[in-house]
Amino acid sequence: MKQLKVKEKDGSYVNLQFDKITQLFGLNGERKDFILDTIAKHFSKHRYNEDETIQSESVKLAGEEVGRSYFETQYIYDILDIEANLSFTKTSLLREFVTIEAEQIAIIDILEQMNRSVQSLMDNLNIVMQKKIDSIFLSTDDYTIDEFLKKKITIDIENNEHSCMKYLDNSKKLEMFLNLLEEANHLMPKKRLIILRNIDMYINQYEYLEIMLKIKEITDASDCWFIVTTSKIGYGLITDETIEGINVINDSVFNVPSLDVLKEFIESKYPVDKTFEANEFIEELTEIIQQIGQRTKLKSTCSQVLLKTINIAEYCEVIASKPSNSLELAYIQSH
């Protein structure tokens, strides 16, 4: 896990825990989007205008300014960007994969044969032209791989229900994108950064966990790094391995410590004698994590106490909602 410093609108730096899977939670969408935009612009070919000149020094990794080519970055703003990467545009992931694969299957030899056939056709046409229309000579350029792939290519989906990309389930599109990324990176390994913004807007909680487990599989086997943002309650992959890559972006920024450290801290501050089972603690943490650093109201007493305890450390507040234990009520209502 590394520290990533990102310059905010006011010129100050926000410190983020940066791991191969970095999850940004929280309800401050504007602040999260600014952070994502800054990171994406820094690690890309984006040309800064005069007003953005200072942004070229806006990202530091482990205390050092890192070059813009440190990562090859893909910023997936919404589901439309997933669809674009599964189409045959100039910068799409599908085009990258097909180009690499084409080179692997001796397409150069095939193109040379095709070019010879085209040239033979042109020679025969020129013989005819010279006999019938003097002084006119026909010629053509050879096809290269890039020129060949520029020709119109139709993308069809082999699916029992749909043959058009836009009608597929969003989770299926995201799964296809990740599979394509995995295969493309296997053919041409790179240090990649994939930013998935607000994926909770187009997939459900079960699909989210499946996608996050696939991302974990990819990061374990490659040098691909992910930043994933959500804001809905219940979304989040919280495990011993992923928790230290979690940051909550609200009025304050909370860098989540290890599960053991956080659990011990909560239990030591809890108003009644309380020992959490590991799964129970993760469930309660998942319930509150989007709202750390935010004045809010939660369903369960335990969740309120957890949020209150963390927010005290973060100098925030929480609204009480019908606790079942008088000590818990007193604790939640205390300052």
**Per-residue pLDDT tens digits for 273-289:** 888 898 998 988 898 88
DSSP state of 225: E
Question: Residues 313-322: what's their mean pLDDT?
Answer: 45
Q: How far apart are CA 150 and CA 260, in angstroms?
A: 54
Residue showing tokens 């836009």:
166
And the tokens for 205? 């909680």
Rounded to whole angstroms, the maximal C-alpha distance in the chain is: 105
For residue 48, the model assigns a pLDDT of 65
Q: How far apart are CA 7 and CA 13, in angstroms?
A: 4
Nearest to 211 by CA among 241, 242, 176: 176
Mean pLDDT computed over every residue of the chain? 81
Q: How far apart are CA 28 and CA 200, in angstroms?
A: 15
Q: How far apart are CA 253 and CA 5, in angstroms?
A: 12
Question: Residues 296-305: what's their mean pLDDT?
Answer: 66
For residue 312, the model assigns a pLDDT of 65
For residue 297, the model assigns a pLDDT of 56
Of residues 271 and 193, the one with the higher pLDDT is: 193
pTM: 0.78
Judged on CB neighbours under 10 Å (0-12, 13-18, 19+), 300 is: middle
Give the model confidence (pLDDT) of 3-42 as tens digits.
999 999 888 899 999 999 999 999 999 999 999 999 999 8
Give the model confidence (pLDDT) of 207-234 as tens digits.
999 999 999 999 999 999 999 999 998 8
For residue 60, the model assigns a pLDDT of 86
| pLDDT of 238 strictly over 80 | yes
Nearest to 38 by CA among 23, 59, 17: 59
Q: Domain coordinates of the chain in residue numbers?
A: 2-87+186-249, 101-149, 257-333
Backbone φ and ψ of 248, nearest 5°: -110, 120
Residue showing tokens 């011990």:
264
Of residues 215 and 46, the one with the higher pLDDT is: 215
Q: How far apart are CA 142 and CA 128, in angstroms?
A: 22
Does domain 2-87+186-249 match CATH 3.40.50? yes
For residue 300, the model assigns a pLDDT of 67
Of residues 197 and 106, the one with the higher pLDDT is: 197
Of residues 272 and 35, the one with the higher pLDDT is: 35
For residue 323, the model assigns a pLDDT of 45
